Structure formats: structure tokens, C-alpha cells
Amino acid sequence: MLSTDRYQRTYRSPDRTFGFRMPEPPDTPCLWELARATGLDVNSHYAYAMWSEYFADTSLVVEVVEAVDGDARREGDALAGFVLGFRPPRAADTLFVWQVAVADLWRGHGLATAMIDHLVARAATPYVEATVNPSNTASATLFRGLGRHDPERIEERLAFAEELFPEGHEAEIRFRVHVGARPPDPPAPPRPRQD
Ligand SMILES: CC(C)(COP(=O)(O)OP(=O)(O)OC[C@H]1O[C@@H](n2cnc3c(N)ncnc32)[C@H](O)[C@@H]1OP(=O)(O)O)[C@@H](O)C(=O)NCCC(=O)NCCS
């Protein structure tokens, strides 16, 4: 079986196997490079180093792996994908996906969905939030898919208007998606006594 302590899970597409693990500060240059290559807003190397150090529990990186003597080894240096997330301080039931990227070569294999599913299971949060540009169809479909394309599970509202971004940047739409079991209803108030 493909598994080592290095990978928390492996994920297979028809022609490759991917290993999922938490980011670490040495991943910083690869995170920066994949953000640049996939057209995301590129943050400083320092931001990616900080994220790998302080938000690793709610983030993950994906490597292409190959089987060697029943073990899993990394194939190549680049990352196949990453998700950088956090729990908003005022919403402990939510995993906020700050940046998600899959390298061009590996898109369309369900990798982004599998990455976020894995993080949701790890964080045990019933909600996922993210902000998405209106023109980013792939990203909007990804988040709607996490809510099984069920409008009852998906809220889409303006988060940040484009006027906030003087450098020329689209608006950001907040997606709040219910991905897990509904939280239990609050306990019913005590019924008045009949006697
Ligand atoms: C968005 C992104 C992460 C999706 O990665 P991926 O691994 O190809 O996504 P998945 O294979 O898990 O597909 C998820 C859903 O999106 C759909 N999808 C993927 N790419 C699509 C595209 N270009 N156009 C329309 N739908 C698309 C899939 O069909 C799937 O839909 P389903 O749930 O109904 O089956 C990837 O396109 C990417 O890295 N884009 C550049 C960075 C970016 O924009 N990140 C998001 C910023 S918020």
C-alpha cells in the first residue's frame, strides 16, 4: 500500500498518485511559485512561511508520488497543489479557504475537491468559506460542488466590492457552504407543567 508517515493520505487519479501532507516552512518557495503560476494573488514569501508555520493544521500541500518498494516517494520538486486555510476567530465552525491552487497539469482530476474534503474532515467543521472573483468559474464550481450544488447549502454574497482594490481587482464574493451534517438543533425550551 502507498503510505508513509510523510503523507496523511494518498489520492489516485487515473495516471498518478498524490500524497497529502501539512505544509512546512521549507515549502515556502514552492508555495509562492505555485501561487504565481496559477494566477492567484501572490503574497510575500514571508506570508507563505508564516502560513506554513502557524496555520499548518488547516492547510495542506500535495506532491506527486511514486511507488518504490512498497513505499511512497516524491516525484519531482514542484507541488501539485495546496490549500491554505484558517478558522476565523469568530467562527469556530468554519474552515476559511484563503488560497487554493492546483497546477495546470493536474486539474480536472478532483484534486481540489479532495484536498478541501480532507481538510474539512481534519478540522471537523460543518462550514467552508472562501471569497471568489465573479469571473472565476472553476473556483465557483469547486465551492458549489462542495455543497453538492444544493442552493440550500450555499450562500453567495458580496464580501469586498472592487472599489476597495485601487490596483484594479475584481470584487470578491463570499461563498459560505454547508458541507457537513447540520449542527444539532438547540435544546427545546422546557414545556410548562400541566398539573
Ligand atoms: C480552482 C481550481 C483549484 C480547481 O482545481 P481542480 O483540481 O481542477 O478542481 P476539481 O477537479 O476538484 O473540480 C471541482 C469542480 O469544479 C469544476 N471545474 C474545474 N475546473 C473547471 C473549469 N475550468 N470550468 C468549469 N468548471 C470547472 C469540476 O468539474 C468540478 O465540478 P463538480 O463538483 O460539479 O464535479 C484550479 O482550477 C486552480 O488552481 N485555478 C487557479 C487558482 C484559483 O483560481 N484558485 C481559486 C481562487 S479562490
Ligand 1 atom 24 nearest Cα: 138
**Average pLDDT, stretch 19-35?**
97
Q: Is the CB of 130 under 6 A from ligand 1?
A: yes
Mutate to test the pocket of ligand 1, among 38, 107, 129 (most ligand atoms within 8 A of CB): 107
User: Percent of the chain beyond pLDDT 70?
Assistant: 87
Higher pLDDT, 175 or 70: 175
Higher pLDDT, 2 or 17: 17
The predicted pLDDT at position 5 comes to: 67
The predicted pLDDT at position 4 comes to: 56
Residue 38 corresponds to which amino acid? T
The answer, yes or no, to whether residue 134 has pLDDT greater than 70, is yes
Q: How far is the CA of 139 from the centre of ligand 1 (A)?
A: 5
| Band of pLDDT at residue 193, cut at 50, 70 and 90 | low
The predicted pLDDT at position 14 comes to: 82
| Band of pLDDT at residue 189, cut at 50, 70 and 90 | low
Q: How far is the CA of 140 from the centre of ligand 1 (A)?
A: 8
Please state, in angstroms and rounded to a whole number, the distance separating the CA atoms of residues 111 and 136.
17
